[in-house]
Amino acid sequence: DGGITQSPKYLFRKEGQNVTLSCEQNLNHDAMYWYRQDPGQGLRLIYYSQIVNDFQKGDIAEGYSVSREKKESFPLTVTSAQKNPTAFYLCASSKKQAAYGYTFGSGTRLTVV
Amino acid sequence: AQKITQTQPGMFVQEKEAVTLDCTYDTSDQSYGLFWYKQPSSGEMIFLIYQGSYDEQNATEGRYSLNFQKARKSANLVISASQLGDSAMYFCAMRERGTGANSKLTFGKGITLSVRP
């Protein structure tokens, strides 16, 4: 079955370290997205990519970086420059057309220790 | 300006009763899609229902229906016969066609629904 896979489910990071969150999809979707969610809050867009080798900043890109070398993969790196990285991170993918919503991964919960 | 507005505080409903979750939106596009997602405590986002701006009939998916009032720019979710498993956070979202290749979903802040036994 097609889907979108995020790993790991839980991640612990020491202050000052970079960590990379994995997101892979086999839905043949062109677009992929990363969102951050804080407890009891909505989703905030970090980065998105509409095509391989191209990506755009979302609303809260500072302290994060991404790459899109393959259509199936869109990893997110949380750098040491991100001041408050403890959050729940959701990856999503979609077709480009407006009639299509997003398919989400199951999320990664990142905690800074 | 907010494009998707969900202003209800936490909602409570008795099991087996119906509940309406409010959503209003703002767009100048004529072509757009409206979506509702459910997020249980596990964190996954589950797609519930879709309404296209040109659809004349209100969308329905099992116990979920979307009360679409285009002139009022509202897209309320109605859950009939609530079940304990419906307790979750619910997000309304819109995707406009006008921005073409950069068309993205815009989410509301969400509404927490608790179903009482």
Q: What is the pLDDT of residues A95-106, one digit of tens each?
A: 877 667 899 999
Torsion of CA A26, A109, B9, B6, to 10 degrees: -30
A84–chain B Cβ distance below 8 A for any pair:
no
Q: What pairs with residue B105 in β-bridges?
A: B95
Six-digit token pair at A38?
């804080």
A69-83, B42-56, B95-109: segment of lowest average pLDDT: B95-109
Residue B1 has pLDDT above 60, yes or no: no
Residue B38 has pLDDT above 60, yes or no: yes
Flag if A99 and B52 touch (Cβ within 8 Å): yes
Is the confidence at residue B117, as pLDDT, over 60? yes
Q: State the Cα–Cα distance between residues B28 and B21, nearest whole angstrom.
A: 23
Residue B5 sits at the chain A interface (C-beta within 8 Å) = no
Across A44-70, average pLDDT: 95
**What average pLDDT score do residues A59-68 get?**
96
How confident is the model at residue A83, as a pLDDT?
A: 87
- Please give the C-alpha separations between residue B75 and each of B5, B78, B85, in angstroms, as whole numbers: 10, 10, 23
Q: How many residues does chain B have?
A: 117
pLDDT band at A16 (very low <50, low <70, confident <90, very high): confident
Percent of chain B with pLDDT over 90: 80
Rounded to whole angstroms, the Cα distance separating B72 from B55 reads 15
Using the Cβ of B64 and the Cβ atoms of chain A, whether some distance falls under 8 Å is answered with: no
Q: What's the distance, Cα to Cα, between the start and end of chain B in Å?
A: 39
**Would you say residue A64 has pLDDT above 90?**
yes
